[in-house]
Amino acid sequence: MIRLLTIIGARPQIIKAAAISRAIRNQFAGQVEEHILHTGQHYDDNMSEVFFRELGIPEPNFNLHVGSGTHGTQTARIIEGIEKVLTEDAKYDGVIVYGDTNSTLAAAVAASKIHVPVFHVEAGLRSFNMSMPEEINRIVCDQLSNILFTPTETGLMNLKGEGFEDIKTKVHFADGRGQKIVLSGDVMYDNSMYFSAMADVKSDIIERMGLRYREFILATIHRPANTDNAANLQSIFTALLDIADREQIDVVLPLHPRTRKMLPIQLTKEILDRIEENKQLRIIEPASFFEIIRLEKNARVVMTDSGGVQKEAFFYGTPCVILRPETEWVEIVEAGAGIIADADHERIIKAYDTLANKSVQFPLLFGDGHASEKIIQEIIHYLQ
Ligand code: UD1
């Protein structure tokens, strides 16, 4: 029996881990045993617990409860906690890490230093913007990983551009094994397909909020480059308010706790007053997984600085204004289903006008919905 430790910490990782965990339970139960370690990076019920409940993930076997902190503090606490679990239990054949958060980086450092193989799901993504903490986390994690599971052709090309080889057979890691890149497809696509119909039954957010199909905007904002920069946050909120006023369209904004904390600090009194008075800018608590799926599926346009929300919008055939200077998911922009607008007021409005008024194509770019099975098969093969 192969024993794997899945490391999660932030909201998007809980979502990605659900797909892998389901594949292990349904198809590899006789070969693989999975334990889950939650770092506690996200700890609010609506940032963490609700996703376990909705996505049907087993209770974590370990919770480090690290909470919030500076990058150094948070990362250090996670490294310490994971090292302890891996050395005390010493029974794991490998760790699975997801994406690009501080939990991902810390897990890769802790495991690789004590020679536990690291399997990185969502490897190879790059923004080429080193001011993002995620970019640093990805680059380091990829270097330390035994198998780099990349979701897209672009990810594969990025890795090759950095000198990674498809298979490095010469001894690379302490246990004598090599390093490998696998183009697996995207586990988020697996999940979005699996949970789409279920969300329609389990969430009534559209009806509860009185929204109509393709007649509202879904917006999410949480990146430090936007929340921690007054000019950017002001520009984004002014654009949302202007579009809501001009189009008489509802803008639904589930608010990340980081953003909620920053609003009164970064926005002018004039903008805060406009938000207060505007009945169509509808700020709500962070959405659950079923809720966000329904919002993504029914919105006319999504406006977001989240990588995950960009992709989910694409999976559900909804165009997306990207509130960042670049994206890791360049395929979406190349397909014409997303426009990069950064935090620029004029560009946001122009991008919205373009996407709301044209017919957009959504080609299949993120695998076949079976990335998770492929990933587990590869891991089994690698560890045998
Ligand atoms: C983290 C990830 C980011 C990912 C995002 C998804 C890093 C560097 N960033 O960003 O890549 O897209 O998760 O949400 O790992 N907070 C709460 N309750 C919570 C969690 C956070 O109140 O349950 C607040 C705290 O004030 C905290 C702030 O949000 O300081 C930011 O949380 P943090 O985990 O540092 O980063 P995220 O912005 O969530």
The residue ranges of the chain whose pLDDT is under 70 are 169-171
Whether 322 is in a domain gets the answer: yes
- Determine whether the shortest distance from the Cβ of 94 to ligand 1 is under 6 A: no
SS3 234: helix
- Which atom of ligand 1 is the closest one to the Cα of 261? 26
- The encoded tokens of residue 359 equal 């017919």
The total number of structural domains that make up the chain: 2
Burial of 330 (0-12, 13-18, 19+ CB in 10 A): middle
**Is the C-beta atom of 69 inside 6 A of ligand 1?**
no
Residue to probe by mutation, ligand 1, list 16, 46, 52, 68, most atoms within 8 Å of CB: 68
Angle at 272 between CA 293 and CA 268, to 5 degrees: 120
Considering the domain architecture, whether residues 284 and 340 belong to the same structural domain is answered as yes
Closest CA to 309 of 334, 338, 335: 338
Asked if residue 243 lies in contact with residue 251, where contact means CB atoms within 8 angstroms, the answer is yes
For ligand 1, atom 17, which residue shows the shortest CA distance?
257
- Structure tokens, 302: 């999504």
Contact partners, residue 186, CB within 8 Å, separation at least 6: 122, 151, 152, 311, 366, 367, 371
For 164-176, what is each residue's pLDDT tens digit? 988 776 667 877 8
Q: Of all protein residues, whose CA lies closest to atom 4 belonging to ligand 1?
A: 101
Which residues form the domain of 48?
A: 2-186+367-383
Q: What is the pLDDT of residue 170?
A: 66
**Is residue 50 assigned to a domain?**
yes
Q: Residue 177: its pLDDT value, please?
A: 85
Beta partners for 34?
4
**Are 138 and 21 part of one and the same domain?**
yes
Could you read off the pLDDT of 183-221 as tens digits, one per residue?
999 999 999 999 999 999 999 999 999 999 999 999 999
- Backbone φ and ψ of 366, nearest 5°: -120, 30
* Residues annotated as catalytic (active site), given as ranges: 222
Is 125 a domain residue? yes
Q: Within this chain, do residues 374 and 352 fall inside the same structural domain, yes or no?
A: no
d(CA 6, CA 294): 28
Q: Which atom of ligand 1 sits closest to the CA of residue 306? A: 12
Backbone angles phi, psi at 64, to 5 degrees: -85, -15
Is the CB–ligand 1 distance for residue 260 below 6 Å?
A: no
Residues 62 and 19 in one domain: yes
Residue 171 and residue 200 in one domain: no
211 with 75, same domain: the answer is: no
- Cα of 342 vs centre of ligand 1, distance in Å, is 20
Residue 361 lies in a domain: no
Atom index in ligand 1 nearest the CA of residue 100 equals: 11
CB hemisphere CA count around 379 (13 angstroms):
35
Q: Is residue 100 part of a domain?
A: yes
Is the residue at 146 inside a domain? yes
- Listed in sequence order, the DSSP H helices in 34-132 are 49-55, 71-89, 102-113
Could you tell me which of 333, 14, 47 has the C-alpha nearest to residue 191? Answer: 14
Which mutation among 16, 42, 71, 329 tests ligand 1's pocket best, with the greatest number of atoms within 8 A of CB?
42
- Whether 377 is in a domain gets the answer yes
Please check whether residues 373 and 318 belong to one and the same domain: no
Return the closest-CA partner of residue 255 out of 304, 326, 313, 318.
304
**Residue 296: closest CA among 206, 173, 201:** 206
**C-alpha 244 – ligand 1 centre gap (Å):** 28
Examine the domain organization and report whether 333 and 218 are in the same domain.
yes
pLDDT score of 83: 98
Same domain membership, residue 148 and residue 88? yes
- Does residue 204 have its Cβ closer than 6 Å to ligand 1? no
Verify that 136 and 252 share a domain, yes or no: no
**Residue 261 sits in the same domain as residue 172:** no
Q: What is the pLDDT of residue 57?
A: 94
Q: How many other CB atoms are there within 10 angstroms of residue 183's CB atom?
A: 18
**Would you say the CB of residue 255 lies under 6 angstroms from ligand 1?**
no
Query: Considering only CA atoms, which residue is closest to atom 3 of ligand 1?
Result: 101
In this structure, is residue 362 part of a structural domain?
A: no
Q: Which residues pair with 253 in a beta bridge?
A: 283
Asked if 125 and 204 sit in the same domain, the reply is no
The number of helices, as runs of H, and strands, as runs of E, in the chain is: 17, 14
Residues contacting residue 95 through CB under 8 Å, at least 6 positions apart? 4, 5, 6, 7, 82, 86, 107, 111, 116, 117, 118, 119
DSSP run (H or E) holding 217: strand 216-220
DSSP for 299-367, please give it: -SEEEES-HHHHHHHHHTT--EEE-SS--S-HHHHHTTSEEE-TT-HHHHHHHHHHHHTS-------S-
Find the CATH number of the domain harbouring 269. 3.40.50.2000
- The answer to whether 76 and 128 are in contact (CB under 8 A) is no
